[in-house]
Structure 1
């Protein structure tokens, strides 16, 4: 008799709990957050820096008190545009998503003081965006691609008490290791091409049209985005890149590493990241997928997603595998799994 009562009590508890979990409706999801003139979720967020106050561009799509995903684009100084792929997937899952142009990028203010372009200052910028948009440890996910993955790791190492989950897409935990893997990819190219590229590089002719054409046709189409034609959002992001910041921090191209990030390495600090973390690697990526898998085992609560047909922009060229895996991770983290 006691066991029957216990079962009935358990059923009652489940029913009460279920009733208290309000399901997000379409009307709830698309409800206006602000009064007055509606601006498609766009908000210019003031950012305090050591050299003054500037504004960065953000766009919030949807409302979800439990799942808010901030997208960190690559570059540095690319734009949110190439991450618009998520608009076809996150809203239908009910995820709130925030597109964001980091300071110096096309839709945000573009100051010219070179002291602003450091990883540490970008981390503080992300924290200010978090506060301005009301994101917290119960709902705040970061999804960073490439340089955005570096920024996500750095943010977690300083502010993970505010994070619910971290997704590191197509970014290794060490630029020196990335450079070594780049040499591996070079070794797989035809010898005459490598000789030609090295001849231009030896003279510092990174902006030479022939050199840039070779890099794009022989490297980017194989390892950056393998689709036969660049999707419009990706093409727009390339068009809008702030080249001066990109070169200052990353180097001349994805093919030739340099700049302020040249010695960046956080491999030894990965065990300090304790929030649920997904690392995403791809077979044809500019980043070593084996390193990405290794990273998932170094963080305290990691998972790995492999995209067998993807490159550096696996969100585009291995879209089904990428999106399904990322969505699954977010749902599992939300459920506490």
Structure 2
């Protein structure tokens, strides 16, 4: 495990100073004409769980750029909650793109980062060669409907206990965390019996101020300022080649993934057979192959 200071001083690191004066951390891994910028999930998590993309893609000649958004672990973490707004994050990505000199590049967004990627593509797709939407759906309503469907499958005693703790706003209770881990996270976030250190660190380093402001402090009741986000009707405007990528045991509905792929005009759908929300870890070969095939086919104008 690298300390934050070691991360700051690692090879390939480039800091980007935003127009609000705060700095965000980026790191280039590998080299090549294909550039891929990563957007981690959360909101408020870190790039760490995506570090496996280096092993997947750098040997293929792809330059992978990790990036912690403002508020996330390696970047500045201001306490001003007014910064945690969708439009500001999208403007931030464009500032990062400009500072890194990226043009005709691939944008990879996972989870909430996929939401960011959709918004970025709708506003700035002229800069994109390709788009990878990992484990995201077309609206917050679609997400909450499916994750609550998964919740309804829980044993009644578990569901009753979780409801009781939620009603008491006792979500920091160790029992609640244990129930989430056993009955949600280990089934739909990552199905490995022992989570990789990179994924555990992402959870450990989550900025709860960002997460709570934008999503809420409850996995199942969305109360943050992203409530009401819906881009189903605009997805067809995204003309860039797009990979819709998720796991069959994901926190987003497979049917939603199929719908997204049917709407996006130049898209491909891959559902990792054994994967969850973090299929890059629990179904790595299928995930890697999906990425490699997509990049090769876009480069060869097959998509």
TM-score band by shorter chain is: over 0.9
Match of 1:68 among 24, 35, 38: 35
* 1:112 alignment counterpart: 79
Query: Secondary structure at the residue paired with 1:308?
Result: strand
> Cα offset for 1:39?
4.8
For the Cα contact (< 8 Å) 1:143–1:167, is it kept in 2?
yes
Structure 1 unaligned spans of 5+: 1-37
For the Cα contact (< 8 Å) 1:101–1:108, is it kept in 2?
yes
Question: Which whole-Å deviations, capped at 9, do the CAs of 1:277-336 have from their partners, x for residues lacking one?
Answer: 111121110110110121011111111011111111011111111110111101111111
> Cα offset for 1:257?
2.9
* 2:25 alignment counterpart: 57
Match of 1:212 among 177, 180, 186: 177
Q: Point out which structure has higher relative CO (alpha carbons under 8 A, 6+ apart).
A: 2
* Alignment partners' CA distance in 1, 2:252 and 2:296: 26
For the Cα contact (< 8 Å) 1:281–1:293, is it kept in 2?
no
Match of 1:247 among 192, 208, 212: 212
Query: Secondary structure at the residue paired with 1:150?
Result: helix
Match of 2:257 among 269, 288, 292: 292
Match of 1:93 among 34, 52, 60: 60
Kindly tell me: are residues 80 and 232 of structure 1, through their superposed partners in 2, closer, same or farther at Cα, counting changes over 3 Å?
same
* 2:49 alignment counterpart: 82
Kindly tell me: are residues 323 and 254 of structure 1, through their superposed partners in 2, closer, same or farther at Cα, counting changes over 3 Å?
farther
For the Cα contact (< 8 Å) 2:31–2:58, is it kept in 1?
no
> Cα offset for 1:251?
1.6
* 1:189 alignment counterpart: 154
TM-score (norm 1): 0.85
TM-score (norm 2): 0.94
* 1:15 alignment counterpart: none
> Cα offset for 1:255?
4.2
* Alignment partners' CA distance in 2, 1:244 and 1:114: 7
Structure 2 unaligned spans of 5+: 1-8
Q: How does 1:99-138 map to 2 (within 5 A)?
A: 99-137=66-104
Match of 1:199 among 138, 148, 164: 164
Establish whether residue 161 from structure 1 lines up as the match of residue 126 from structure 2: yes
Kindly tell me: are residues 244 and 185 of structure 1, through their superposed partners in 2, closer, same or farther at Cα, counting changes over 3 Å?
same
Establish whether residue 263 from structure 1 lines up as the match of residue 231 from structure 2: no
Query: Secondary structure at the residue paired with 1:309?
Result: strand
* 2:189 alignment counterpart: 224
For the Cα contact (< 8 Å) 2:125–2:238, is it kept in 1?
yes
State how many pairs are aligned. 294
Q: How does 1:227-238 map to 2 (within 5 A)?
A: 227-238=192-203
Query: Secondary structure at the residue paired with 2:21?
Result: strand
Q: How does 1:14-53 map to 2 (within 5 A)?
A: 39-48=10-19, 52-53=20-21
Runs (4+) of structure 1 exceeding 6 A deviation are none
* Alignment partners' CA distance in 1, 2:10 and 2:148: 46
Query: Secondary structure at the residue paired with 1:63?
Result: coil
C-alpha RMSD of the superposition:
1.2
